[in-house]
Amino acid sequence: MTTLTTATTLDVPGARIHYELRGSGPLIALVGAPMDATAFAPLADLLATDHTVLTTDPRGINRSSVDHPDRDSTPVERAADLAALLRHVDAGRATVLGSSGGAVTVLALVESAPELVHTAIPHEPPLDELLPDHADLYDKTEQMIATYLTGDTRSAWKQFMEIGNLQMPDEVFEMFFGSPREGQDALDEHFQFAHMLRHTVRFRPDIEALKAAPTRLVVGIGEESTGELCDRTSRALADLLGIEPTLFPGDHIGFAEQPDAFAVRLREILGA
């Protein structure tokens, strides 16, 4: 059942951030990059039975407009946006779960405003910088971005899948990426490739700052993500932090594909 949702925007430097609130109780924020609030809606509805759930579109994506669409979006900027939202909502220290690029946002948030977050769950952050082959990954990422900017979106997505070691049946790939996107989807895709990817994968977390923060850190990995790039980066992060990674149902987007099981696991972690 869909929960009553209120949606509005918050002005921040250089952008207007779309955000949504559901439910009541302790605050949980669910964030992605480039994924927007829509991707988290099923999980948010499940959690809203006993939590206030905040979801948002990252700057430059979908309903979060920016003053300068040709400027890059960095994890530090997105963390500042999220901090502004948490202060604006004013519902106490939050649990913040971020997936993919949103997980990098969460790490930057804990570094800059740990007082806002009691539990941070970066789920599969693509932190190429932490891997021994990061230079090769950077080269491949630059090639992928260059391919995208030529207009060959299909080949760019092929390279994206190869870099991430992501497996997808050919017919499914063609369904999602075989043809150019249109409208807002095309704009979001362009912003992702041209202005988000590079800074996200090159972000290097401040491990000492994260260790010193009064925030519980839980590094999440999908149970079905073994061997994928974000499985490797997440394990590298957990190792540097001196903690064991925590497994969640599904793969890189288990929160969207298996929201019921994901919600159960998340509640277990919050209750531990």
> pLDDT tens, 93-124?
999 999 999 999 999 999 999 999 999 999 99
> pTM for the whole thing?
0.96
With a cut of 80, say whether residue 268 has pLDDT above it.
yes
pLDDT of residue 75: 98
Q: Where are the domains of the chain?
A: 5-130+203-271
Query: What CATH number should be reported for the domain whose range is 5-130+203-271?
Result: 3.40.50.1820
With a cut of 70, say whether residue 2 has pLDDT above it.
no
SS3 at position 94: strand
- pLDDT tens string 141-196: 999 999 999 999 999 999 999 999 998 899 999 998 999 999 999 999 999 999 99
Q: Residues 6 or more apart from 271 whose CB is under 8 A from it?
A: none
d(CA 31, CA 266): 15
Pull the structure tokens for residue 126: 């693509």
When pLDDT is averaged across residues 53-73 and rounded to a whole number, the result is: 97
Above pLDDT 90, what percent of the chain?
97
SS3 at position 197: helix
With a cut of 80, say whether residue 3 has pLDDT above it.
no
With a cut of 90, say whether residue 272 has pLDDT above it.
no
pLDDT of residue 189: 97
d(CA 205, CA 211): 11
Task: Report CA-CA distances (Å) from 217 to 81, 121, 210, 237, 241.
Answer: 20, 6, 8, 11, 9
- pLDDT tens string 204-250: 999 999 999 999 999 999 999 999 999 999 999 999 999 999 999 99
When pLDDT is averaged across residues 10-37 and rounded to a whole number, the result is: 97
- Mean pLDDT in the chain? 96
272 or 187, higher pLDDT: 187
pLDDT of residue 1: 53
pLDDT of residue 16: 98
Pull the structure tokens for residue 238: 């957990």
Cα torsion angle, 69, 73, 77, 78, sign:
positive
